[in-house]
Structure 1
């Protein structure tokens, strides 16, 4: 229908018809989704002969006009002019009734009968305006709404609206306030995003334009804040609320009371942005103006909660409840509060819930239950109420509450109940089962299993499983299988009925109860399954997988790796997995297809099968390849796979060692003096790179020598043979590997040079065998392996001793002295510890490769800002804390760089030493270590503590600056101040090492001892 059919607005207002009591006036545009609902709600009112309905359309393009004409012939068109008040006034101009009722299309009248009765009340003529209440819904389920008072009925006596945006009625007193007539407003919760966006743009633009004309209008700033807030522009909303509040603060008390809603808008937006302290200040100010403002009381509690003040939050919530009851139950009316957000049942329920939670946290179970009883059964209430009743041991009441719940909430209740049940003791769990066992629901039957006597529990469990399919039940019912753990046959029968994924879920659920873990492990370790038992193998791998992964999650990886039972479970998992895939695939085609298999577990079993095949074929390189792929494809098992790969690598290393030993045996080198074949093996631990240096020197002397290191470290020293025994977890296998190497070494080498109290077999078991075989055996001691505190403290008051068990050291030396005639030490201090245990003790100086450790061509000594380096392998034994304190003190007076070298490979550390100006070694030990020698070889001045006893032993030309904890600061300062002395010490140090510690000179002397005994 064209707009020409509508009556066009003329000049003036229609004459009031005294027969018409009420004119319902509406303005609409494109409201086909809402208008029908609104008009239906007023149908009983519209049908009265003394009520008319007037609708002004401002340009609809949908079916709005068609809907309107079903209810009234008084439908008019007026083009939208951008001013809401103008449009309202146009609709009023058609009214002939004594009273005007204003309503919008996105609203509906909740109480049309009550409004009709109001029209007939004899006292109505005494008033000019009637205020009713509006529920503004702000949640999709209409449970949350804002209640505000709104002037909606006006005497038709020159009444009009003003304001282009939020059209404000220019009403007259007296005013009648009605509390039992409500309008429902849906406009704040539209699902039509496009429509809401249009409303936002229209409203915000109009408000901004009005504020350009009237920038200090408090009401317009308030409305713009609300508009931004509804559009989720929170910062802009807060800014506008802040501006409105700033304007209001300058006003008198009466004006502040009139615009009290600005306080709430400021607080609400501040809370949304987390500005809780600011919000509290405004809440308290607002409540001092109007103590009945329930919204401010709500937000005050929220702010206290967010800031961690639970007591003040609780007190504010009690005040909130008092106000809520005052408004909703006592019929209290506060004409100064135009709009209330928190009168809805949802807000009340939320506050009741938090009060209950406060009492629960204080252990006041009865009070908590009292408040919870008045909260609707939504999920948080169900969870807390469950805990309250459990903690109060009210199991019968808990059952009654369960029975009262609607079906859709029972599953949530059960899940929460089961979670809390796990924390109860056995007696409480049994009482809970008894409370829930009666009934026909599945949860009742489940608890019947739990409540059964131990000797009948498996019968009840079997009955339960016969009636219910575990593949379709929630995991909590897995507990039924706990009753079958001791009846392996029935357990296995029931598991065979289930999917593998269900079995894993059940086992995980059982494993989470610590009381079931031993039974599960025993089951999987002792069960016997034939290789051709498809179902048995399937159940086994499903169960073993969970036990392995759960153990890795529960414990540290290394702990699980080290425990034999888990390694056995892993080995069984792999074995049964290979059996399992033989039912699914043609094994001769596995190598061709394994990369295309989508199931990663089956892919893993294929790779382990191929690995086993490669091992059997002794193709270890291919085996390592498959092991690497298995680790990559199935990382969940990587802790065990990596260990397996390490063991395979160790096997390869052992074979390479044996192969090289056999090569040495065949070569049979003769030394340059023609004294026969001399083959030497150093072992079995590297100390400060000495094995490497000594063996290198021997090789340079044309001696067929090798070094064997069973304990490689992070320092990454180089040795001929390295086999990390710590990586072999199986002690029996570890011994077998050592024995295999020893057997070959016995046939090849005629000199065995051991270090640091070690040898080739566990418990030094090889020493009697070597002695019996007539081999020359020497033991080289280096320090903490023989240092005894009772002797050390007499030689050096500062020394720190690692091994405090002197009796253990003495027993070791006694045994070594019985089996070995000759011992080597580096200096006079160590001689004092061993002299009474060996027939022969020789001094063998520490060896340095002077071709590797030499001054750097790139380094230029620094006179300005020198670099000091300290490298403690064991800070407590090197005196590091005294050195660091001295450095801190000297930094106040001098400009220098300090570098502390720790947990660094030897090669990386050497690079740092090369660019040092001063190197500080130990200041407690009383003798120089390898670091001092390496530093001197590189031309560096060295600070190190030397006792008077050791100074007599060392050559007089030793150019080390001696410093103790008492003198370290002064000695460093001396070198910092004397650049020329630093250079001189560097030159002398290099010459000293070349003279006394060059590896070729030391090894030449060593060879003479091998050949001639001295």
Structure 2
């Protein structure tokens, strides 16, 4: 018999059949047997196993992986022995078949397969890859040693086959599974280390167990013990334990100690320069440490090794975590080349991306690079290649690039030129930008303005509103049904880009008449309010706008609320703080002439509700103070005039008339000392 396939199982009803089905191509092509040793299943595992083989045996689990593996081997009759677990699935089997049927197989004692270890439950995109010996010549010597993470012992040379399998047993996001594996494996490793504290491999595996369980401090402590033992090895033997250095770098990366990661990686490269993970970890650490030039070099070293991966002499003791990180390397290189202003290389790396997630995350960089390099037509070509559902993201990123990077007007115009033919809001914005320079809107543009739904206008197209304000386009024809919070967002966006926004709104309002309907009062109220909040007007202009805002705002309240709510100042029954402000200002206007105390009270309440209107309230308070001063001046003038008349009457000896005026004056000013002197003078006369 050419081949024995052996496995040990326990409670694997969810995995076993998938594994056994994947073995069928080998069993059909090779004279083989399937041996399954159950170690105490309590589910349907044994029943499933018996559907595929009658070589099912039972042995109680004894907490020693190698002894259980050796029991499985003891039942084997084949020339070769293939080791597989229930939570694994063969994917490429033909290389195994070809090897077993070849004459060249006689030259080897073992063969390695590639394991793809899936690390997350619901996606195959997250995995580690490593080579592992799984096919052995069953010569009577082949056996396993070690209680856990057992190590194979065989005679002869080993070769690498092109076959591969997937392992589903270490899902890092399955906490229950990870806890179960950690408790089982960790317990055995600790017991073995009590017996043999100088076992480098066990310290390494204990660190790996801690790392998978996210116990990073314990993982560091264990790998440092392995590293101390590694350092005691003779230099010529250190390459045998290179896995200690690769894992040490990984653990410090998990701890975000990037200075230490760099140190570990550089030490590893002095011993072995073909550890692909080391270049990736080193580049990542150097990028975070702002060593951009070195990071670029090592990402490129990583990509070079990845391209030649099949040709590399692989160390079977090293687990490789980064073989699926090619696009991540390119993604990081985009940022590094951009930072160093090597825009050509940045764009080259950006164009290597095919992952939708990374393309979306990198879209802003790609747009920036095309704009920075003045490749406007290439930018448009790139736009044509993206999915339709991504276009709003593209517009947002393009708008951010234009606004945040302070591109000059000519660059913005060149970008707009290549998008004017697009039949959406952004295309309309580009047309308005170009036609604004020409001094007039075309009929086609006007038609597109009339047909656009402004209630759903994206923020990146807020520039449309700016040009409509600038050209005094009658907004009331367009803004009929809209939410004020939305128009506030548009103005917030505009204010960051256009320094003259306040001036444009003010000019528009100066030339706009508001008809007595709800939507126009609402629109004009919003426009006046935003000019006030920008707060760039001179005092006279500000006062004019503030008065118009109050007028429009109060009219708006009168449209939407009953007189009962308004007359009773029911501030808790209106929608927001602005309406509380307007309601208080409505009552302030009622009491302005009749009761200064109440007028001031409502002004204070209005300011508490809407502090953004502080300047307007201060203007009104200043008016009150000025009015008081005017009254005082007029009163003082009146007093002097009356007292002058009294003095003249006394001089003319018209004492009765003087007494009469004094009596009237004292009802107004009772304690005027000068008038008392006049009375004394009359008495003496």
- TM-score band w.r.t. shorter chain: 0.7 to 0.9
CA contact (8 A) 1:511 1:520 kept: no
Question: In structure 2, which of residues 541, 561, 572 is the aligned counterpart of residue 585 of structure 1?
Answer: 561
CA contact (8 A) 2:178 2:212 kept: no
SS at structure 1 position matched to 2:595: coil
Q: Deviations over 1:796-843 (max 9, x none)?
A: xxxxxxxxxxxxxxxxxxxxxxxxxxxxxxxxxxxxxxxxxxxxxxxx
Question: In structure 2, which of residues 390, 410, 414 is the aligned counterpart of residue 427 of structure 1?
Answer: 410
How many Å separate the matches in 2 of 1:174 and 1:359? 45
Question: In structure 2, which of residues 228, 231, 236 is the aligned counterpart of residue 246 of structure 1?
Answer: 228
Structure 1 residue 83 corresponds to structure 2 residue 32? no
1:241-280 paired onto structure 2 within 5 Å: 241-280=223-262
CA contact (8 A) 1:537 1:576 kept: yes
Moved more, 563-572 or 213-222: 563-572
What is residue 343 of structure 1 aligned with on the other side? 323
Q: Which structure is larger by alpha-carbon Rg, 1 or 2?
A: 1
CA contact (8 A) 2:532 2:613 kept: no
What is residue 535 of structure 1 aligned with on the other side? 519
Using a 3 Å threshold, how does the CA distance of structure 1 residues 573 and 53 change in structure 2: closer, same or farther? farther
**1:641 Cα deviation (Å)?**
4.0
How many Å separate the matches in 1 of 2:218 and 2:200? 16
- Root mean square deviation of aligned Cα: 3.3
What is residue 638 of structure 1 aligned with on the other side? 611
Q: Deviations over 1:873-911 (max 9, x none)?
A: xxxxxxxxxxxxxxxxxxxxxxxxxxxxxxxxxxxxxxx
SS at structure 2 position matched to 1:151: strand
Compare relative contact order (CA 8 Å, sep 6+) and give the higher one, 1 or 2. 2
**1:400 Cα deviation (Å)?**
1.5
Structure 1 residue 312 corresponds to structure 2 residue 294? yes
1:277-296 paired onto structure 2 within 5 Å: 277-296=259-278
How many Å separate the matches in 2 of 1:40 and 1:521? 77
Using a 3 Å threshold, how does the CA distance of structure 1 residues 147 and 301 change in structure 2: closer, same or farther? same
SS at structure 1 position matched to 2:270: helix
CA contact (8 A) 1:248 1:255 kept: no
CA contact (8 A) 1:507 1:543 kept: no
CA contact (8 A) 1:631 1:642 kept: no
What is residue 887 of structure 1 aligned with on the other side? none
Moved more, 153-162 or 319-328: 319-328
What is residue 481 of structure 1 aligned with on the other side? 465
Structure 1 residue 53 corresponds to structure 2 residue 28? no
Question: In structure 2, which of residues 99, 106, 124 is the aligned counterpart of residue 125 of structure 1?
Answer: 106
CA contact (8 A) 2:481 2:519 kept: no
Using a 3 Å threshold, how does the CA distance of structure 1 residues 482 and 226 change in structure 2: closer, same or farther? same
**1:380 Cα deviation (Å)?**
3.5
CA contact (8 A) 1:461 1:480 kept: no
How many Å separate the matches in 2 of 1:440 and 1:365? 31
Structure 1 residue 594 corresponds to structure 2 residue 577? no
Aligned residues: 635
Structure 1 residue 358 corresponds to structure 2 residue 374? no
**1:197 Cα deviation (Å)?**
1.7
CA contact (8 A) 1:511 1:547 kept: no
Structure 1 residue 228 corresponds to structure 2 residue 210? yes
CA contact (8 A) 2:216 2:251 kept: yes
**1:303 Cα deviation (Å)?**
2.7
1:334-733 paired onto structure 2 within 5 Å: 334-335=314-315, 338-344=318-324, 346=325, 348-376=326-354, 378=358, 379-422=360-403, 423-438=406-421, 443-444=426-427, 447-452=430-435, 454=438, 457=441, 459-514=443-498, 515-530=500-515, 532-549=516-533, 551=534, 563-590=539-566, 591=568, 593-618=570-595, 620-621=597-598, 623-632=599-608, 634=609, 637-641=610-614, 644=617, 728=622
Using a 3 Å threshold, how does the CA distance of structure 1 residues 524 and 172 change in structure 2: closer, same or farther? farther
CA contact (8 A) 2:246 2:318 kept: no
How many Å separate the matches in 1 of 2:147 and 2:112? 22
Using a 3 Å threshold, how does the CA distance of structure 1 residues 169 and 298 change in structure 2: closer, same or farther? same
CA contact (8 A) 1:267 1:299 kept: yes
SS at structure 2 position matched to 1:339: coil
How many Å separate the matches in 2 of 1:70 and 1:129? 30
How many Å separate the matches in 2 of 1:412 and 1:36? 45
What is residue 679 of structure 1 aligned with on the other side? none
**1:538 Cα deviation (Å)?**
0.9
Question: In structure 1, which of residues 200, 203, 206 is the aligned counterpart of residue 185 of structure 2?
Answer: 203
**1:317 Cα deviation (Å)?**
2.5
Using a 3 Å threshold, how does the CA distance of structure 1 residues 34 and 742 change in structure 2: closer, same or farther? farther
Q: Deviations over 1:358-395 (max 9, x none)?
A: 33233332222223322335234322221111111111
What is residue 653 of structure 2 aligned with on the other side? none
CA contact (8 A) 2:607 2:613 kept: no
Moved more, 367-376 or 44-53: 44-53
What is residue 629 of structure 2 aligned with on the other side? 738
Using a 3 Å threshold, how does the CA distance of structure 1 residues 340 and 542 change in structure 2: closer, same or farther? same
Using a 3 Å threshold, how does the CA distance of structure 1 residues 124 and 190 change in structure 2: closer, same or farther? same
How many Å separate the matches in 1 of 2:447 and 2:50? 68
Using a 3 Å threshold, how does the CA distance of structure 1 residues 746 and 362 change in structure 2: closer, same or farther? same
**1:49 Cα deviation (Å)?**
5.6
Could you tell me the TM-score, scaled by structure 1's length?
Answer: 0.58
How many Å separate the matches in 2 of 1:361 and 1:113? 47
CA contact (8 A) 2:287 2:336 kept: no
CA contact (8 A) 1:35 1:68 kept: yes
- If each structure's helix is expressed as a fraction of its own residues, which one has the higher value? 2
Using a 3 Å threshold, how does the CA distance of structure 1 residues 296 and 66 change in structure 2: closer, same or farther? same
